[in-house]
C-alpha cells in the first residue's frame, strides 16, 4: 500500500519568515495530494490540495509543489503569522473519491512572535 | 447543513466492552471513512465506504466493524474494546464532482479504554 513520509516533525520559525514542510510518497499511482491543518483539539481542515496533473498551486500565502518523478510534494507558507501555529498533515490518495487517504505523521509548526 | 456529525464526543470503556461510534452526514456524499488518530502517527484509515451497502477495510481494521445501510450514516462498532483502541476517532465524508474532492471531517470522538 501507499506510504507517506513527512519532515520535519517539528518546525519553529520567526513570525514573517517562511515555512516549508516536505512529504514523499511511495505509490506512483497516487494522484491527489491534500494538506490539512489541525489546531489543538479540533478536526483536520483542508487548506490546499493538488492533483497529479499540476506542478504547483498557490492560494494567498500558501502554496504546494509536486514533483511526480521524485514522488515528493511540499507545503510552503510565506509571511507566517501566529495563527499559522498548528499541526500540518500531508496525505496522498489513489482513489477517485478520496475515501482512502494515507496521511503523513504530521509537522508541529510553531510561529515565534 | 450540519456537515459531518459524530457522537459521542467522549467515551470511557472498560476492556471487553462493546460500543458503537455514530457518524452522520447531510451533504449526500457518496464516500465515507473512519480514521483513528494516535500521537505521532497521523491519521490511519480503519474502514471506508463508497456508497450505501458497500464497505471495505483500510489500514487498521482489526477489532472494528462497519455498515452503511443509508447514504447518511456510517457507524463504527468496537466489538471487544482493548486499551490499544484508546484513540481519537474521526469520521469523514467526501464527494467527487467537477474535479472537487475535498474530504470533510467530523469533530471526532475521544475514546479511552481502561
The pLDDT tens digits of the residues spanning A16-74 come to 999 999 999 999 999 889 999 999 999 999 999 998 888 999 999 999 999 999 999 99
Residue A98 has pLDDT above 70, yes or no: no
Instruction: Say which residue the cell 509543489 belongs to.
Output: A65
Q: Look at A6-20, B25-39, B92-106 and tell me which has the smallest mean pLDDT.
A: B92-106
Question: Looking at CA atoms only, how far is residue A9 from chain B in angstroms?
Answer: 9
Please list every residue in chain B whose beta carbon sits closer than 8 Å to the beta carbon of residue A101.
Answer: 33, 35, 43, 45, 103
User: Does A113 touch chain B if contact means CB atoms closer than 8 Å?
Assistant: no
Separation between Cα atoms, residue A25 and residue A3, nearest integer Å: 6
Q: Which residue of B42, B94, B105 is in closest CB contact with A98? A: B94
Q: Label the pairing between strands B31-37 and B43-51.
A: antiparallel
CA distance B33 to B104: 10
Amino acid at each position: 500500500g501507499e506510504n507517506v513520509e513527512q519532515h520535519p516533525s517539528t518546525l519553529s520559525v520567526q513570525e514573517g519568515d517562511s515555512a516549508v514542510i516536505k512529504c514523499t510518497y511511495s505509490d506512483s499511482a497516487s494522484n491527489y495530494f491534500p494538506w490539512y491543518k489541525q489546531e489543538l483539539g479540533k478536526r483536520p481542515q483542508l487548506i490546499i490540495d493538488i492533483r497529479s496533473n499540476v506542478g504547483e498551486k498557490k492560494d494567498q500565502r500558501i502554496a504546494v509543489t509536486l514533483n511526480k518523478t521524485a514522488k515528493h510534494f511540499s507545503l510552503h507558507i510565506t509571511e507566517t503569522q501566529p495563527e499559522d501555529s498548528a499541526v500540518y498533515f500531508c496525505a496522498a490518495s489513489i482513489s477517485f473519491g478520496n475515501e482512502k487517504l494515507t496521511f503523513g505523521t504530521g509537522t508541529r509548526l510553531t510561529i515565534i512572535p | 447543513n450540519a456537515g459531518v456529525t459524530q457522537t459521542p464526543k467522549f467515551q470511557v470503556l472498560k476492556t471487553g466492552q462493546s460500543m458503537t461510534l455514530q457518524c452522520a452526514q447531510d451533504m449526500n456524499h457518496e464516500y465515507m471513512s473512519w480514521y483513528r488518530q494516535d500521537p505521532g502517527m497521523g491519521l490511519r484509515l480503519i474502514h471506508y465506504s463508497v456508497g450505501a451497502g458497500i464497505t471495505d477495510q483500510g489500514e487498521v481494521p482489526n477489532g472494528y466493524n462497519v455498515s452503511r445501510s443509508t447514504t447518511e450514516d456510517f457507524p463504527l462498532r468496537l466489538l471487544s474494546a482493548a486499551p490499544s483502541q484508546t484513540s481519537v476517532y474521526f469520521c469523514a465524508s467526501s464527494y467527487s464532482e467537477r474535479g472537487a474532492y475535498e474530504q470533510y471531517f467530523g469533530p471526532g470522538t475521544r475514546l479511552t479504554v481502561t
